[in-house]
Amino acid sequence: MTVDLYALGWSPALAERAARCGARLRPGRVVRADRGVLTTLCADGPVRASLAGAVLAAAAADPAELPCAGDWVLVRDWPDGRVTAEKLLPRSTAVIRRTAGKDSTGQVLAANVDTAAVVEPVHPEPDVGRIERLLALAWESGAQPLVVLTKCDLAADPAAVAAQIAEVAPRVAVLPVSAQRPGGLDALRPFVAAGRTLGLLGPSGAGKSSVVNGLVGGTAMATQTIRRVDGKGRHTTTYRALIPVPGGGAVLDTPGIRAVGLQAAGDGLARAFAEIAELVAACRFGDCRHEAEPGCAVRAALESGELPPRRWESWQRLNREVAVETDRRDARLAARRAGWRRQRRDRGYARP
């Protein structure tokens, strides 16, 4: 079996970077990661590779450095038949959510995707707050965000639903699709052309696996029937997987996301709420609290009906969450620096 790596997204820039790492290493794209073992697609086909010590050390210092589906790695073949992933190549994009717990470290959900699609079912009705949160995550990744409305065969007027969602997705295309209708996924095919990767983000039961199967033309991912009464169901995918698409390109499916924590850095939230960010910038005072200050563009927009209260409340809620994460990150860095100073002092490196 031979694999066209360029059809999977390999590039001259990556090839140049790989060449500097030595001739004994060859590239592969991670299609799945399982507890320290990667399934990669190399030029000669699928290869199972364990993580080398250098990769494990980098991941111990920063969990975001752990290879995941979509990553490009350099693998090495050993005389005894072992294969190890020796180096993680730089990512062009990364969808990272904050993990639960006090550490609030980042978990990479998908790497090197060109388009990050927020997948939301129209039946029984879309969750607008979830779409806003996932769009902030998609913008933060560096990929091009997209909203994909699934199960449109169950909606009386999919175009009307798409128009409503477009109001909370500024500067983002909103595509109603159906995996059950012939040609129902045609609007997504340009996003999985040769060399391009489409990442799917969404909750359990949103229809992500059905989208994957429809694009690939087979049963690449297992699915379960969704109850017609309430639209609920259970997604059988419990791992992230990159699936090549016939003719080139790939689609990256993620498990159903129950909770998405936003990271502290970046401008993903501002871009997901672009119209509010513009209003905030237009306020007369830079430290405006948007309560009773004169010249507040936000209050004026709320009073005129230009800015829906629900949208403003969602912006405030997510900003508070990011502020809390910023405080946690700063406290974590301060504790780490204090630990380094103690180590230097204990080793006799402290200044007199």
Query: Which of 8-12, 46-50, 103-107, 148-152 has the lowest average pLDDT?
Result: 103-107
What's the average model confidence in pLDDT over 70-88?
97
Comparing 85 with 346, which gets the higher pLDDT? 85
CB 248 within 8 A of CB 4: yes
Say how many C-beta atoms besides its own lie within 10 A of residue 139's C-beta. Answer: 23
What does the pLDDT read at residue 226? 41
What's the average model confidence in pLDDT over 270-281?
95
* DSSP string computed for 156-170: S-HHHHHHHHHTTST
What's the average model confidence in pLDDT over 97-113?
75
CB 95 within 8 A of CB 116: yes
Per-residue pLDDT tens for 240-259?
A: 899 999 999 999 998 766 55
The model's pTM is 0.85
Topology adopted by domain 94-253:
Rossmann fold (3.40.50)
What's the average model confidence in pLDDT over 76-95?
96
Beta strands in 179-325 (DSSP E): 197-201, 241-244, 250-253
> In the predicted model, is pLDDT for residue 339 greater than 90?
no
* Domains 94-253 and 268-345 alike in fold: no
What does the pLDDT read at residue 19? 94
Per-residue pLDDT tens for 127-159?
A: 999 999 999 999 999 999 999 999 999 988 999
pLDDT tier, 79 (very low <50, low <70, confident <90, very high otherwise) = very high
Torsion of CA 114, 118, 122, 125, to 10 degrees: -170
pLDDT tier, 332 (very low <50, low <70, confident <90, very high otherwise) = low
- Average pLDDT score, the chain: 87
Question: What is the share, in percent, of the chain residues with pLDDT greater than 90?
Answer: 69
Q: What is the CA radius of gyration of the chain?
A: 23
Residue 147: in which H helix or E strand, if any? Answer: strand 144-150
- One-letter amino acid at 4 equals D
Per-residue pLDDT tens for 259-273?
A: 556 765 568 899 999
What does the pLDDT read at residue 266? 65
Comparing 174 with 104, which gets the higher pLDDT? 174
Instruction: Name the β-bridge partners of 48.
Output: 39
Q: Which CATH class, in words, describes the domain spanning 268-345?
A: mainly alpha
> In the predicted model, is pLDDT for residue 185 greater than 70?
yes
What are the domain boundaries of the chain? 5-88, 94-253, 268-345
Query: Measured between alpha carbons, how far is 39 from 153 in angstroms, rounded to an integer?
Result: 36
Query: Which of 13-17, 21-25, 224-228, 301-305 has the lowest average pLDDT?
Result: 224-228
> In the predicted model, is pLDDT for residue 346 greater than 60?
yes
pLDDT tier, 112 (very low <50, low <70, confident <90, very high otherwise) = very high
Residue 64 CA, chain-centre distance (Å), reads: 12
Torsion region of 20: left, alpha or beta (phi above 0 gives left; psi -120 to 50 gives alpha): alpha
What's the average model confidence in pLDDT over 110-135?
94
What does the pLDDT read at residue 240? 81
pLDDT tier, 229 (very low <50, low <70, confident <90, very high otherwise) = very low
What does the pLDDT read at residue 335? 65
> In the predicted model, is pLDDT for residue 235 greater than 50?
no
> In the predicted model, is pLDDT for residue 224 greater than 60?
no
pLDDT tier, 344 (very low <50, low <70, confident <90, very high otherwise) = low
The residue among 92, 186, 184, 211 whose CA lies nearest residue 141 is 92
Pick among 2.40.50.140, 3.40.50.720, 2.120.10.30, 3.40.50.300: CATH of 5-88: 2.40.50.140
